[in-house]
């Protein structure tokens, strides 16, 4: 009688079942880690935009703050001007980075210079690229919303005023 080499079908099914159980436990954890990383990146991006706004205001005092993300950024071979200040990388200046959508809205004062702004960030895909929405104003305080309704629209100035301050 000769001895057969290899695995039986039952042994292969058991190994496959074990792999599926491990994957079932690991995948949700990985998705949660990715969401946390995207949210951390969104907060860091808002801080970068705030820093760029402060620099823009000191470089172009007659303009006040920048009116758009595009005005803070510029192409790779950027020449600084009030229209493209070259203060943000072109990815963030385009308004989408690491699973989050960014917006910037500004308000002019009576003198014509932009005196206030709101930066908003919302996940591109709720519960996949992120959960919470973030915002900040010229007061340099980053706020967040738990986003229980699952919105993928960056917050407005009115919504931002009701958000919680981040730690």
Question: Which residue ranges make up each domain of the chain?
Answer: 9-165
Question: pLDDT by residue (tens digit) across 126-156?
Answer: 999 999 999 999 999 999 999 999 999 999 9
Percent of the chain's residues with pLDDT above 70:
98
In whole angstroms, how far apart are CA 39 and each of 12, 101, 113? Answer: 40, 11, 32
Question: pLDDT by residue (tens digit) across 42-71?
Answer: 999 999 999 999 999 999 999 999 999 999
Measured distance CA(11)–CA(92) in Å, rounded: 51
Measured distance CA(38)–CA(128) in Å, rounded: 10
Tokens 């702004």, residue located: 117
Question: Which helix (H) or strand (E) segment is 135 a member of?
Answer: strand 133-137
Q: What is the pTM of this model?
A: 0.85
pLDDT value of residue 66: 97
């Amino acid at each position: 009688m000769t001895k057969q080499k290899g695995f039986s079908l039952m042994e292969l099914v058991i190994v496959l079942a074990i792999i599926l159980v491990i994957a079932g436990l690991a995948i949700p954890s990985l998705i949660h880690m990715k969401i946390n990383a995207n949210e951390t990146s969104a907060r860091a991006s808002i801080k970068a935009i705030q820093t760029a706004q402060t620099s823009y205001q000191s470089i172009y005092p007659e303009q006040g703050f920048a009116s758009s993300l595009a005005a803070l950024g510029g192409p790779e071979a950027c020449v600084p001007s009030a229209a493209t200040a070259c203060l943000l990388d072109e990815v963030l200046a385009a308004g989408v980075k690491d699973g989050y959508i960014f917006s910037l809205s500004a308000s002019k004062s009576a003198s014509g210079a932009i005196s206030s702004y709101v930066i908003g960030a919302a996940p591109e895909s709720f519960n996949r690229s992120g959960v919470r929405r973030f915002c900040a104003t010229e007061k340099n305080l980053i706020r967040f919303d738990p986003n229980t309704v699952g919105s993928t629209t960056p917050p407005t100035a009115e919504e931002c005023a009701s958000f919680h301050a981040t730690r």
